[in-house]
Chains A and B, each alone.
Chain A
Amino acid sequence: MNFKTSLLAGLAALALSAGAAAAEEVKIGIAAEPYPPFASPDSAGNWVGWEIEVIDAVCKAAALDCVLTPVAWDGIIPSLTGKQIDAIMASMSITEERMQTIDFSNAYYNTPAVIVADKSLDIDASPASLAGKIIGVQASTIHQAYANAYFGDAEIRVYQTQDEANQDLYAGRIDATQADSIAMADFVATDAGQCCEIKGNVANDEAILGKGVGAGVRKGDDALREALNKGIAAILADGTHEAITARYFAAPIYSE
């Protein structure tokens, strides 16, 4: 009898401890992989970066109790639809394809996509010059979609994180990588990035590259979307966005 009751008590305790609904918090999903200078973990385990500061500012302006929740990038949309997180603010671009599954807030930054390659390589960002080369892109990104669509003559390698693509660019395994201009500007300024330089912007295609970076929310979650829009509009209006940008970048990265 003792054994049975203690076993039942143990199971009940386990079940209760595993399920604690926290209804007031808004879980903001960020990518678990480092993406400097937007979001990366420091050596103490805290997340720092431009995007992290913007998330804090937007949440404060919208009066939301936000909790940063790192999720693997290639599972981030299923995590949103599966309700493990409430919003995605992980430098995710607003594209038609993604809008079939989730809704987006207004954009909070907009930067072009660039090709980065070794300094000695004489190419620009056109499909012709990239024919026959090896291009690395991160999985599930607009850059992967763009490269598949436009750089069909090149070999496309898909990496789990942009950082791994950068590492292979440094190692010489790939000839070029396509990624966000700011993240790449940050990379070429580092020690490892001294090998390489930005070769140019890729030709814009709004259907694939999207209309800027916005916060993703579940379809129909209009309350949260409106709250985030309010927060974004607030920080754009009162100069917080500009102030955070000035701390990280030389030029503004938001355009109408």
Chain B
Amino acid sequence: MEGLLDLLGLAKSAELLSLSPPGWGMNLLRGLGKSLQIAFGAFGFGLVIGLFGAYGKLYGGPVVRDLLAIYTTVVRAVPELVLILILYFVGTDLINRASEALGYGRVEISGVAAGIWVLGVVQGAYSTEVLRGAILAVPQGQIEAARAFGMPPVMLMRRVTIPAMLSFALPGLANLWLIATKDTALLAVVGFSELTLETRQAASSTRAYFTFFLAAGGLYLMVTLMSSALFQLLERRSRRGQPSLKGAGR
């Protein structure tokens, strides 16, 4: 193994990337863990916002629909980097003022929580559109039948709409998950500790820029490929029972 690495000239790189100090591998993996944490939280938070947003856009009154349209338009037009900065300062300002007004003193907001908040708001706008399209694709008859049975709205959402719309939403949601994982890199510009920041710190300290950036790229690629495979499995499972489109339209 060492011979092969020596041959490829990668011995020094392998040393830098090793998992135990003085190798920086563990730092990178820790950063990856934080990135995935933030991405997961932001994706989930975005889904919750998206669900409310989609329902608001479909069944809400004209004012709600317009406000949601403003929200989605602004988020889709303004760069994430600018949104991250604004949301970070606004969010922490509001929370501090609220907690001071309530007499709690200062509230500690971890980097992960702040990252989830800012990225979640951004994801929420995109989720709104994806879920809205998916809910529209649910056959109207099923919803009407459930209403005819007197099912309360929340139960209807839980038992009929959401399971039925999953197969339509999954491709869009898969894309959103990939966007979430890649957007965590932007948090490096704000100084949150995640994979890209750890990579830059390691590269700065050791001057091995190529090594670390390629390694980080490899880690992101691994996450992306595995996520894509996972989502394909989920899609296939959610489409079970639906007729296959193979050979149709020939």
Contacts and interface: CB of A to CB of B under 8 A. Distances in A.
Do A and B touch directly, given a CB cutoff of 8 Å in the complex? yes
Interface of A: 3-4, 18-23, 32-34, 36, 40-45, 70-73, 75, 78, 82-84, 160-161, 163-164, 167, 170, 190-192
Contact of A21 (B22, B24, B26, B99): B99
B89 A84 contact: no
B24 to A, nearest CB: 5
Nearest to A86: B106
Given A41-B27, A83-B106, 6 more contacts: A18-B109, A19-B104, A33-B200, A42-B21, A78-B89, A82-B92
Contacts of B197: 32
Contacts of B2: none
Contact of B191 (A3, A20, A45, A70): A70
B204 A161 contact: yes
B158 interface: yes
**Which residue, B26, B113, B204, B205, has most C-beta atoms of chain A within 10 A?**
B204
A43 to B, nearest CB: 4
A83 B26 contact: no
Given A71-B191, A167-B209, A21 B96 contact: no
Interface string B148-175: 0000001100100000000000000000
**Which residue, A4, A44, A71, has most C-beta atoms of chain B within 10 A?**
A44
Interface residues of B, number: 35
A22 B92 CA distance: 16
A36 to B, nearest CB: 8
**Which residue, B96, B201, B209, has most C-beta atoms of chain A within 10 A?**
B201
A26 B66 CA distance: 45
A84 B105 CA distance: 12
Contact of A84 (B30, B99, B109, B209): B109
B96 A82 contact: yes
B204 A70 contact: no
Contact of B207 (A18, A33, A42, A167): A167
24 contacts: A3-B154, A3-B155, A3-B158, A19-B95, A19-B104, A19-B107, A20-B107, A22-B108, A32-B197, A33-B200, A41-B205, A43-B27, A43-B202, A44-B26, A71-B191, A72-B190, A75-B191, A82-B93, A83-B96, A84-B92, A161-B204, A163-B204, A170-B207, A190-B207
Contacts of A71: 191
B133 interface: no
Contacts of B193: 32, 70
Q: Which 4 A-B pairs have the closest CB atoms?
A: A72-B191, A163-B204, A32-B191, A19-B107
A45 B24 CA distance: 9
Contacts of A18: 107, 109, 113
A163 B212 CA distance: 15
Interface string B26-43: 110010000000000000
B106 A43 contact: no
Nearest to B158: A3
Contacts of A33: 200-201, 204
A21 B201 contact: no
B10 interface: no
Contacts of A161: 204
Interface in B170-194: 189-191, 193
Contacts of A34: 201, 204-205
A113 B193 CA distance: 30
A30 B155 CA distance: 50
A82 B100 CA distance: 12
A23 B113 contact: no
A254 B181 CA distance: 46
